[in-house]
Amino acid sequence: MTDEKAEQAGPAFEPKIIAYCCHYCAYTAADLAGSTRLQYAPNIRVIRVPCTGKIDVLHLLRAFEEGADGCYVAGCLDGDCHFINGNLRARKRTDYAKRILDAAGIDPERLEMFNMSAAMATTFAATADEFTERSRKLGPLFDGEKKDIRPGIVMRQPMTLSASNPPAKDE
Amino acid sequence: MIVAEQKPIGQVLDMIEPFEKILVAGCATCVTVCSTGGEKEVGILASALRLACAARGLKKSFDEITLTRQCDPEFIEPIKEFASQHDAVVSMACGVGVHFMAEHLPPMPVFPAVNTVFIGANPELGVWVERCAMCGDCILDKTGGICPIAGCAKTMLNGPCGGSNEGMCEVDPETPGAWARIVERMKQLGTLDKLDEIQPPKDWSTSRDGGPRKMIREDLKL
């Protein structure tokens, strides 16, 4: 990643960031940040998950496929997972997804995992700001025509199409 | 089960370089169980390939399909038409699946996305260990249920050898020597005396030495 790339994108570049937030910590911290009127970057799109242990490598890759410039997972502090070790699993999966991104030629810095408690509203806001700044410096993930990722058909036997790709209606 | 591991993405990208419309095909049996080439891994590989191609400015599309089994023609038959709408297939099945898809699909390139590594067991999540070398003439009855063909680096029939050090193999000090384990097991079973019998050289003609193997059951043939 280069500052040059960010400059090319112009000063107006606002990264799109997906933040997978655990219901028991980061999502509640976001709530607290809101009720205490803390300001933070509007670039993050929060997706609430029941536990970061719910997050699969595929969810992380899909975020980039669907147009995110950055993505992070925000889970409970070590030892504080409501489901014992979901956050530890999420960290392993995030690391694995980082390796896949690296192999695909995408800066793994675009993906990160953070830990916080439900009371850490200022940390939630600071994380959103810092990650937005990081993503802004990294520049757009794909520029111009590269953005055109064609969605694929997904099938499994017995021959069914996935819900996201309904079969064409008969003429 | 057959255990496989994924090839590096770069290697798969090199294979599909001249092709535009790619079908990533998983298999719902062994490679699904060893978390290498099932429906989920097909999704992850297809996603990674889409991102890798977008990062390189390559115009390629990736569709996904997971067959019940890639090693039976009746499951390949229904996907022939769908597959032929593509320029190439990337199979995440074991070598048998890749081979069978190449044999049964209309003539088109079929590439392997995984390396088939061994026949093994899954003692705990994320760990797979080899337990059978498919020698074609099972001797587990003579060795307390522990295989010296799959478990011994030298496939010895009379062991342990001089390289065994406190029960560990000289090839890898972390690996227990198969013959040390066999002796322990036979002691437990009270059948240690069976090991006094010297085993003659093994007939390897039932293994790979006789070329590709074939099994026929006339009673099952239609």
Closest by alpha carbon to B11, among B42, B48, B37? B48
Mean pLDDT computed over every residue of chain A: 88
Tell me the shortest Cα–Cα distance from B82 to chain A, in angstroms.
10
Q: What is the pLDDT of residues B30-46, one digit of tens each?
A: 999 999 999 999 999 99
Helix (H, G, I), strand (E, B) or coil at A125: helix
Tell me the shortest Cα–Cα distance from B72 to chain A, in angstroms.
13
Tell me the shortest Cα–Cα distance from B98 to chain A, in angstroms.
17
Q: Which of A95-109, B87-101, B194-208 has the lowest mean pLDDT?
A: B194-208
- Check whether A165 has a pLDDT greater than 50: no
What number is the ipTM of this complex? 0.87
A114 in a structural domain? yes
Please give the domain boundaries of chain B with CATH numbers for all domains.
Answer: 2-118 (3.40.50.2300), 136-209 (no CATH)
Q: Does B74 touch chain A (CB under 8 A)?
A: no
Residues of chain B positioned with their CB less than 8 A from the CB of A100: 9, 44, 48
Q: Does A88 touch chain B (CB under 8 A)?
A: no
Give the pLDDT confidence score for residue B28 in this predicted structure.
96
Closest by alpha carbon to A5, among A146, A136, A147? A136
How sure is the predictor about A166, in pLDDT bands with cuts at 50, 70 and 90? Answer: very low
Q: Does B28 touch chain A (CB under 8 A)?
A: yes
Candidates B9, B44, B86: best to mutate against A (most CBs of A within 10 A) is B44
Q: Does B48 touch chain A (CB under 8 A)?
A: yes
Instruction: Point out the residue among B48, B57, B68 whose CB comes nearest to the CB of A61.
Output: B48
Q: Which of A1-5, A58-62, B5-9, B185-189 has the lowest mean pLDDT?
A: A1-5
Beta bridge partners of A44: A17
Selected residues 9-38 of chain A with any CB under 8 Å from a CB in chain B: none
Q: Give the span between the Cα atoms of B119 and B149, in whole angstroms.
A: 13
A56 in a structural domain? yes
A6 in a structural domain? no
The residue of chain B nearest to residue A57, with distances taken between CA atoms, is B44
A158 in a structural domain? no
Instruction: Check residues B95 and A12 and name the one with the higher pLDDT.
Output: B95
Residues of chain B positioned with their CB less than 8 A from the CB of A153: 63-64
CB atoms within 10 A of CB A150: 13
A27 in a structural domain? yes
Q: Give the span between the Cα atoms of A10 and B69, in whole angstroms.
A: 51
CB atoms within 10 A of CB A166: 8
Residues of chain A positioned with their CB less than 8 A from the CB of B50: 65, 149-150, 152
Average pLDDT over residues A67-89: 96
Average pLDDT over residues A19-42: 97
Tell me the shortest Cα–Cα distance from B62 to chain A, in angstroms.
5
CB atoms within 10 A of CB A66: 11
- Check whether B216 has a pLDDT greater than 60: yes
Q: Give the span between the Cα atoms of B173 and B166, in whole angstroms.
A: 10
Q: Give the span between the Cα atoms of A136 and A11, in whole angstroms.
A: 9
Q: Do B51 and A104 touch (CB under 8 A)?
A: yes
Q: Does B11 touch chain A (CB under 8 A)?
A: no
Give the pLDDT confidence score for residue A157 in this predicted structure.
81
Candidates B12, B49, B50: best to mutate against A (most CBs of A within 10 A) is B50
Q: What is the pLDDT of residues B142-192, one digit of tens each?
A: 999 999 999 999 999 998 999 999 999 999 999 999 999 999 999 999 999
Task: Check residue A39 and report its DSSP letter.
Answer: -
**Host domain of residue A51:** 15-144
Q: Give the span between the Cα atoms of A17 and A72, in whole angstroms.
A: 8
A7 in a structural domain? no
Q: How many domains does chain A have?
A: 1
Q: Do B55 and A58 touch (CB under 8 A)?
A: no
How sure is the predictor about A163, in pLDDT bands with cuts at 50, 70 and 90? Answer: very low
- What is the rounded (10 degree) CA torsion for B138, B141, B146, B151? -30
Residues of chain A positioned with their CB less than 8 A from the CB of B52: 103-106
Q: Does B58 touch chain A (CB under 8 A)?
A: no
A10: left (phi over 0), alpha (psi -120 to 50) or beta: left
Q: Which two tokens stand for residue B104?
A: 């049964």
CATH number at residue A95: 3.40.50
A1 in a structural domain? no
Q: Give the span between the Cα atoms of A119 and A41, in whole angstroms.
A: 19
How sure is the predictor about A4, in pLDDT bands with cuts at 50, 70 and 90? Answer: low
Q: Give the span between the Cα atoms of A49 and A55, in whole angstroms.
A: 8
Give the pLDDT confidence score for residue B210 in this predicted structure.
82
Residues of chain A positioned with their CB less than 8 A from the CB of B73: none
Average pLDDT over residues A150-165: 69
A126 in a structural domain? yes
Q: What is the pLDDT of residues B60-108, one digit of tens each?
A: 999 999 999 999 999 999 999 999 999 999 999 999 999 999 999 999 9
Contact A48, A103 (CB under 8 A): no
Give the pLDDT confidence score for residue A171 in this predicted structure.
40
Instruction: Point out the residue among B39, B48, B79 whose CB comes nearest to the CB of A100.
Output: B48
Helix, strand, coil percentages, rounded to 5, for chain B = 35, 20, 45
Task: Check residue B153 and report its DSSP letter.
Answer: T
Give me the DSSP letters along B161-198.
-TT-BTTB-SS-TTSBPHHHHHHHHHHHHT-GGGGGSP
